[in-house]
Amino acid sequence: MASDQDASSSNSSNSNSTPRTCKYEIFLSFRGEDTRKGFTDHLYHALISRGFRVFRDDEELERGEVISKELLQAIEDSHFAIVVLSKNYASSSWCLNELQHILSSRDNSCQQAFPIFYDVNPSDVRNQKGSFEEAFVGHQMLQRDNEVLKNWRESLTKIANLSGWDCKDWPEAKLIEMVVEVLWTKLRPKLPPYCEDLIGIENKLEQLEPLLEIGLTNVRFIGIWGLPGVGKTTIARALFDKYRSQFEIKCFLHNVRETSERDGEVHLQSKLLSHLKIRNMEIKDTFDGKEIIQNRFKDKKVLLILDDVSHTSHLENLANKPSWFGAGSRVIITTRDSGLLRRVHEVHAYKVQIMNPHESFQLFCSKVFKSGEPQRDLLHMSKTVCDYAKGLPLALSVLGSFLCGRSSLGEWEDALDMLQKNQHNDILSALKLSFDVLADTEQAIFLDIACFFNGWSKTVIAHIFKSCGFNAKIGIATLQEKSLLKDYDDCLVMHDLLAQMGKRIVVDKSPNDVGNRSRLWSKEDIDEVMENNLGTKEIQGMVSSTSCEASWDPEAFSTFRNLRLLIIVTCDFSLPYGLECLPHSLKILYWTKYPLDTFPPGARFYKLVDLKMRHSKLKKLWNKSLCSKNLKFLDLSYSKNLIETPDLCELPNLERLELEGCEDIVDLHASIGQHTKLCVLNLKGCKKLKNWCLKKLEMTALKEFVLCGCIQVKRLPEFGESMKNLEMLDAGETNLVKLPESLGLLTSLETLKLRGCKTLVCLPDSIHKLTRLVFVDIAGCSRFARLPENLNEMKALEEIDASETEITEVPSSIGELNKVKKLSFQGCKRLTSNSWSLIHPLNLMFWRHAIHKGLALPDCIFNLKSLKELNLSYCGIDDGSVPNSFSGLSSLEKLNLSGNLFKKLHTGCISNLLKLRVLLLNSCSKLGSLPQLGPNVYMADARECVSLEPMSDELLSHFFTSIEQGERLIVGDSLDMTIPGSEIPSWFKNQNDLFLNHHGEAWMMIDMPPCGEEVLGIGLCVVIDDKFFSTEPNKRPPFGLLNCWLFFATIPHPPYSQPESYARVCVYQEDMKSSHLWIMFWKQEEELSRCLQLSEYSHIPLKFSAGPYWKKDSKDWKMDRKDWKIKCGWRVIHKGDFENWDSSMRQSLLPAAGQHSGQDVRTPMPLNFKSRSISVRCPTPNLRMIPGKF
């Protein structure tokens, strides 16, 4: 490293602190014209290939004086900044401002900065001599502020004084290698902080990590096996937390064996798929789940931990084959059964050994003696306990925690005596010592978790225990302190051995009499007790998950005199003999799909706190004698036969009433409106509800009031002055005509949902009093005509959705909503410029020509500096009313102008939106050409824009030029586009006809050039014939998807490894009426070079796979004919292959670039394809470009 003054001391101090969680690991600062296509590009790709997350400002932006907030945030969100100082670096005010912010971030956080002196003298940078002095002369001629110039000079001096690299000292390739190695040393994945206290963990991980081969693109299965309690889960958790940031999807499925036994394997499949964050994904059975998993994860880099696998079915249904997961995925399996691992395809097994005597002693002492060293008189006894634990970390931790705080010799002798009395030397008996010293409440919590709730949500468990009268917070914390319980991802998890011990404690108290046990959890035991009426006062809890007819004795519960907890979760459950009673002692009663229409006549709920009977067959609740004064939570959702609500006067402590989906309720009991403790009232989907039986609500504690979907509700009661705690009101999809003026009394209201109220005309004038209101949803209120005039008084408003309304006038006060982030007027076609002119009367002259021609936007809307999403689709905007620019919306990220009537968008209308990421222009039937796009747009969708001009050769030329320049792709990227056509262009030299087999698959081999030739990538062109989507009327086409897989195999012959690249085209019958060309390009220099170096390599496999678009059609899908043909052409592309493109065409498309006063000035391209999806579907032309890393 070269530096006249080493400033690494401050950096090193920073590096020793706790690592920050950053979006990027490295930020590259450089002068584009000096190093973009050379040194910086090589450095960037070297860092990317090592697995770093790198931010490179590689967009050819039209730069101004001020750096965007996004770029500043990227600097702050990076661990390291690499500053490439070149001759023209200081001539750019952008670069200097960037450098100033880097150094400011370095001073204020743990970030480190390193300079690289590229063809400049460090002394020139430090003292601003040579080209750096000339740059400042230019800045002075521009009359820059003296303070700004001073700060820039100080920044250059400061960066030059830091440790860095001077390019003249090493060859460029060697320098890049050194930089990458230094950063890897500093940034390589580290163990999470909690691992510092785990004795021996580093040694075990060092042995395991070679099996993982993190960084390679193959899919690997790793098996961790050993004795129970030896630390398999702890090791897997440490690996998971260490490497999770390097994977797209990361999932830790804890306790697979027990979860499978309790909830079934479909539940586990759902839990795995939940990491995709797809709502309402339904899995019918394990076969359906397997299909979804392999389809959804096959192109994603996944880190999956399957903890405590005990049966091959667990693997078959969750991770059957490597091909289920994308390149680089890792599946880690923990199990006690090494034989199970031998049945797994290509698993790499690791046996966890017990702790050696030294490690055992260390772990034990760390739990018992805070100083880490035992007292002399306890040294021998400590070693005896360690010997007894037999090197199992769990036993050492539990026994150590048990003895912690017992300092007298007598106490230790008593403990050793108890251990020695265990004649069978059973480790469970040793663990029981920790249980025996727990307080009664803590023992009850321990046994409940061991028998019922292991792995449940911490929030749910705490709620249950609190309802049972336990101090849940203290009890759970005590168990954690004693190493009896752990908190993983907000779930309380007890080790298998401890759970087994807890169940054995219950069984051992009454080994031969099931009815005398304190807890019942197995179906067999429950049925024995309930069918034979064997229950006793000893039973405290019963949790059952069953789906069958139960021949329970109707009087069975009569002897359960101390049952506090009854949870029955069923799918299809019936009681043919009925039920005569329920225990009076119950505090928790959860019974999904309760099969009877009334409560048993002998039921008395004196102590009940929480009652949940969702999907029950109840018709009515209870009489007064049944009511519990202690009831706080009542949930009868989806009890579709329920016809009445309870008298809440008999439930004075009720806090939550859930009646969602109770479709037969007609009236609400009048007592509801006066209840003083009810916080949540949910009446969603009560379709027959229409009578309130009350005129005013005086519910002082109410925070959430939901009645959406109550389609017969035409009015709301008045709100009393005591309703000041209400935060959310959802009255969507009702038949409200108006809202009461008393709405203004709800001064804490934050969310008002009125979506789909088709008879609602307006909001009450009093709404301006709701100064805390954040979200207003009136979408679909088709008769809603106006917004309140005084919107500006609602200072907290962040989102207004007025889609599909009849709003004709927008108040001028909308321009004063400084916090609004989302605004939608979709489908408001009657809007005219009259309404908008109210906002800025002085600007009326500019908009008068647009009157009565649809939505016209005045300057006022550009005051909304916080606006991120604006939806003006289907608003009748034409050429007369389309704005000249949206540039004032400096925070705008998504703009929807679909379905409008303009023929073009003005130059600069979109390109000045520097934060815009999504532009939607669907169904703009008159649009003739695409607008210039902003620098950060990654998706522009213009489907069904039937008037678009045909795609020119120039545009195609630009597509390939962008590939040749290599600026818009990183290794592994793919670009593809779809255009009309039926013949393969001659540029693709190799052309073949392929026939799909009965599975819809076809293979071909791409012949590779001799080793040593410089290859850039592979180009491919496929004809999507109209046969693919022609079909009979009202019948789905035979194909909906065509996939293309490119294999860079680790072996040159079948069976091939996971494909390294993958692309997919969706065929839409309604959009594509003729044949199209699907053109793809893969830039895979690194992989191709590796393949060419293998002496056996002469070809690369390519696979096509066609199938239905709809997943539900694919289960038994197969080809119905054998003559489906795919025309395809391909070409291995060398770096000189683009020379045959007309250079004048390419030049006409290059951005006009220039320098003015040392700044980068660039004109945006009409289409800039950097990491974006340009989707234009129409009969002619049709362009769809979808770059992305597969």
DSSP string for residues in 738-757? ---GGGGG-TT--EEE-TT-
- Structure confidence by residue, pLDDT tens digits, 746-805: 999 999 999 999 999 999 989 999 999 999 999 999 999 888 888 889 999 999 999 999
Asked if 704 contacts 680 with a C-beta cutoff of 8 angstroms, the reply is yes
Distance CA 594, CA 618 (A): 8
Q: Which amino acid is at 235?
A: I
**Lowest mean pLDDT across 85-99, 573-587, 819-833, 955-969:** 955-969
Q: Which tokens sit at 10?
A: 């401050």
pLDDT beyond 70 at 16: no
Question: What's the pLDDT band for 48 if we cut at 50, 70, 90?
Answer: confident
Q: Is the pTM of this model over 0.75?
A: no
pLDDT beyond 60 at 951: no
Closest CA to 629 of 667, 587, 679: 587
In degrees rounded to 5, what are phi and psi of residue 631? -65, 125
Q: What's the whole-number mean pLDDT along residues 651-663? A: 95
**pLDDT of amino acid 468:** 93
**pLDDT of amino acid 138:** 86
Q: What's the whole-number mean pLDDT along residues 438-461? A: 94
Closest CA to 165 of 198, 229, 108, 116: 116
Distance CA 852, CA 905 (A): 20
Q: Which amino acid is at 917?
A: R
The SS3 of residue 481 is helix
CATH class of domain segment(s) 193-351? alpha beta
The SS3 of residue 531 is helix
Rounded to the nearest integer, the mean pLDDT of the chain is 77
pLDDT beyond 90 at 1059: no
Strands lying side by side in the sheet with 78-85: 54-56, 24-29, 78-85, 112-117, 165-166
Q: Which tokens sit at 1003?
A: 């293979």
Show Cβ contacts of residue 598 under 8 Å, excluding neighbours closer than 6 positions: 618, 619, 620
Asked if 64 contacts 58 with a C-beta cutoff of 8 angstroms, the reply is no
Distance CA 41, CA 28 (A): 10
**Lowest mean pLDDT across 558-562, 802-806, 941-945:** 941-945
Q: Give how far Cα 517 sits from Cα of 449, 514, 594, 1039, Å.
A: 16, 6, 25, 60
The SS3 of residue 17 is coil
CATH of the domain spanning 632-783: 3.80.10.10
**Helix ranges restricted to H, 870-986:** 953-965
pLDDT beyond 90 at 1002: no
Catalytic residues: 98
Q: Which amino acid is at 763?
A: L
Question: What's the pLDDT band for 999 if we cut at 50, 70, 90?
Answer: low
**pLDDT of amino acid 532:** 92
**pLDDT of amino acid 842:** 32
Maximum mean pLDDT: which of 560-569, 665-674, 1157-1166: 560-569
Neighbours of 10 (CB within 10 A): 12
Distance CA 905, CA 882 (A): 7
Question: What's the pLDDT band for 733 if we cut at 50, 70, 90?
Answer: very high
CATH of the domain spanning 440-509: 1.10.10
pLDDT beyond 50 at 844: no
Distance CA 455, CA 449 (A): 8
pLDDT beyond 50 at 836: no
**pLDDT of amino acid 1047:** 58
Maximum mean pLDDT: which of 179-193, 330-344, 375-389, 1096-1110: 330-344
- Structure confidence by residue, pLDDT tens digits, 859-898: 667 778 899 999 999 988 888 778 777 878 889 999 999 8
Closest CA to 1187 of 880, 1026, 973: 973
pLDDT beyond 50 at 142: yes
Q: Which tokens sit at 55?
A: 């931010």
Homologous superfamily of the 8-187 domain (CATH): Toll/interleukin-1 receptor homology (TIR) domain (3.40.50.10140)
Asked if 349 contacts 355 with a C-beta cutoff of 8 angstroms, the reply is no
**pLDDT of amino acid 221:** 94
pLDDT beyond 60 at 59: no
Distance CA 754, CA 741 (A): 16
pLDDT beyond 90 at 506: yes
Asked if 1101 contacts 1005 with a C-beta cutoff of 8 angstroms, the reply is yes
Q: With 0-12 CB in 10 A as exposed, 13-18 as middle and 19+ as buried, what is 643?
A: middle
Q: Where are the beta strands (DSSP E) in 111-155?
A: 112-117
Distance CA 895, CA 537 (A): 66
Q: What's the whole-number mean pLDDT along residues 465-488? A: 89
**pLDDT of amino acid 835:** 40
pLDDT beyond 90 at 681: yes
**pLDDT of amino acid 1186:** 29
- For the chain, what percent of residues have pLDDT higher than 70? 74
Distance CA 656, CA 679 (A): 6
| 696-697/704-706 β-pairing | unpaired
